[in-house]
């Protein structure tokens, strides 16, 4: 899906210094630089991208098509298409993914559970190497 089509645009931002308490639903793209205490989920009828930046903290369940994490998440993560874990990603909870890209330094304290692959599609597991 994301290798062949353009990714949805990021139209919403939770800025650093902001704190959201409660569940959050979004369409298309969301970037979190602040704190969220509640679940974050995308509209299941549209492609979605969720970015959790290095400065961000989420306590709750995350669900989107394409999830990029470089901050802290305390709760389960569901990436329906692709999960990218950047070097400073810290996850305390189970991780569900169809395809995974994990950089050196990312930490998961929980179970990693691959979703069933789409028929005819090879699952992708990519470990990103650090340039020396």
Residue 42, token pair as written in the block: 């995308």
Under 8 Å CB-to-CB from 122, ≥6 apart: which residues? none
pLDDT score, position 123: 56
pLDDT over 90 (residue 126) = no
- pLDDT band for position 132 (50/70/90)? very low
Give the Cα separation of 39 and 49 in Å (integer): 15
The pTM of this model reads 0.86
Residue 79, token pair as written in the block: 């990436």
**What is the per-residue pLDDT across 47-88, written as a single tens digit (0 to 9) for each?**
999 999 999 999 999 999 999 999 999 999 999 999 999 999
pLDDT, the chain, mean? 90
């Amino acid at each position: 899906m994301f290798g062949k089509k353009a990714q949805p645009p990021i139209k919403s931002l939770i800025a650093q210094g902001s704190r959201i308490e409660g569940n959050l639903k979004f369409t298309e793209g969301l970037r979190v630089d602040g704190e969220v205490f509640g679940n974050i989920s995308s509209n299941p009828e549209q492609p979605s991208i969720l970015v959790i930046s290095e400065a961000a903290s989420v306590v709750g369940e995350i669900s989107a098509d394409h999830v990029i994490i470089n901050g802290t998440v305390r709760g389960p993560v569901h990436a329906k298409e692709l999960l990218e874990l950047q070097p400073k990603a810290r996850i305390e909870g189970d991780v569900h993914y169809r395809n995974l890209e994990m950089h050196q330094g990312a930490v998961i304290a929980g179970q990693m559970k691959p979703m069933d692959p789409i028929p005819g599609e090879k699952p992708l597991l990519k470990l990103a190497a650090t340039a020396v």
